[in-house]
Copies of this chain bind each other. A is one copy, B any other.
Amino acid sequence: MDESELPRQWYNIVADMKNKPLPPLNPATKEPLTAEDLAHIFAAECAKQELDQTHAWIDIPEEVLERYKSYRSTPLVRAYALEEALGTPAHIYFKNESVNPLGSHKINSALPQCYYCKQEGTTNVTTETGAGQWGAALSYAAKAFGLECAVYQVKISMQQKPYRSSIMRTFGATVEGSPSMSTRAGKDIITRDPMHPGSLGTAISEAVELATTTPNCKYTLGSVLNHVALHQTVIGLEAEKQMEKAGEYPDTVIACFGGGSNFGGIAFPFMRHTLLEGKKTEFIAAEPSSCPKLTKGKFEYDFGDAAGYTPLLPMYTLGHDFKPANIHAGGLRYHGAGMIVSQLLKDGYMRGEDIPQTESFQAGLLFARTEGIIPAPESCHAIAATIREANKCKESGEAKVILFNLSGHGLIDMTAYDSFLNGDLTDPEFKG
């Protein structure tokens, strides 16, 4: 894909949705939040994007485009070897978002978020991270735009993948395991439950608290929110052009699902044609069986974090105090789903699919041995869902075109593969 063909705008699917997502609410007043409210913790431009329901296309700033060019476009690959191993008539494509120095799609939103913060005179950014893909991306982007960066990483993930905090430190960031003793929220959680393994919910509470109690510091989020999914649509927009060059259009689009940004990133540009032209495409969000908010969550207003610092968000949720099992796919250990995705799920445009941990690694291993890339544990869920669909095609004889997003590589997650190869991995049950 030629540099001149790179998308110059992100796609804001909300503008094209008949049923708009419900508004986020101020938990005290229950009033819909304004961009001004959100701008207390987020960059003003991100706050504006978060609530934009009218503009379908948002310009990517030149400075961000320049950074995108250093690693984009990312390859769209036909997985011939995987198809052959499965003996499926399906055409399997994947968009390879692992090919940047940070190793995942997270960089696509870290760059604009840090850019906007810098533009607005912010000096410090903070965030939560699970497996650490988002924290690593933000650490890099903060350094690139000259910002200081503090990251709260989920404690269990930090222990499972120690290299990721080293990566963040190498880029100059400060890293704390969450729940930590450095915030009121963290201390409250530890006091109640000293062995709490942490979750994205606890880490968000701590980062939000740091942002609201530190001068000139903004909070950034790696998923869940609308503006994050917006930035990630660069993935699907590229994929659409690349599929066109390959002379194909996907019957099925698959991504793993934590908060929804990687899913939205690949799916929304294709879903646009479903919304506007009634194109028939199946959209599958692959989530862990042990954290199944899409299939077993309730659609209701809930907090985005464990401590209840965030606005009330309308979403499919397992409850903000849900404590996810210690699976290796740290990026998927989140109780809720983004507001846009929740509305789309409610309206039947997509479905969730639950993947047990061992099935995800079995799929990841086959992918590594056929396609030569070791996928992140999160991405393994998308691969497992893809294999399920490809096997259905084998039975039915249909040559469906399946596109999935390889959100990241798993080179920092090798202890998980070790456990799997040693037969030590389990399938924790969902305890709702």
Listed in ascending order, the chain A residues whose CB lies under 8 Å from chain B are: 70, 77, 98-99, 101-103, 140, 143-144, 162-163, 166-167, 169-172, 365, 368-369, 372-374, 409, 411-412, 414-415, 417-418, 421
Separation of A409 and B169 alpha carbons in the complex (Å): 16
A410 to chain B, nearest CB (A): 9
- Contact in complex: A373, B101 (CB < 8 Å): yes
For the complex of A and B, the 4 pairs showing the least CB-CB separation, nearest first, are A166-B414, A163-B414, A101-B373, A166-B418
- Contact in complex: B171, A368 (CB < 8 Å): yes
What number of copies of this chain does the assembly contain? 2
Partner of A411, one of B143, B169, B411: B411
- Contact in complex: B101, A166 (CB < 8 Å): no
Partner of A369, one of B103, B143, B372, B373: B143
Separation of A103 and B410 alpha carbons in the complex (Å): 12
Q: Which B residues are in CB contact (< 8 Å) with A417? A: 166, 169-170
Separation of A166 and B161 alpha carbons in the complex (Å): 13
Q: Which B residues are in CB contact (< 8 Å) with A70? A: 77, 372
A109 to chain B, nearest CB (A): 16
Partner of A414, one of B170, B365, B415: B170
Separation of A99 and B99 alpha carbons in the complex (Å): 7
Q: Which B residues are in CB contact (< 8 Å) with A415? A: 163, 166
Q: Which B residues are in CB contact (< 8 Å) with A166? A: 414-415, 417-418, 421
Q: Which B residues are in CB contact (< 8 Å) with A170? A: 365, 368-369, 374, 414, 417, 421
Most chain B CB inside 10 Å of its own CB: which residue of A144, A369, A372: A372
Q: Which B residues are in CB contact (< 8 Å) with A162? A: 414
A120 to chain B, nearest CB (A): 23
- Contact in complex: A411, B103 (CB < 8 Å): yes
- Contact in complex: B101, A144 (CB < 8 Å): no
Q: Which B residues are in CB contact (< 8 Å) with A365? A: 170
- Contact in complex: B369, A167 (CB < 8 Å): no
Separation of A163 and B163 alpha carbons in the complex (Å): 10
Separation of A169 and B417 alpha carbons in the complex (Å): 9
Q: Which B residues are in CB contact (< 8 Å) with A101? A: 98, 372-374, 409
- Contact in complex: A414, B167 (CB < 8 Å): yes
Q: Which B residues are in CB contact (< 8 Å) with A421? A: 166, 169-170
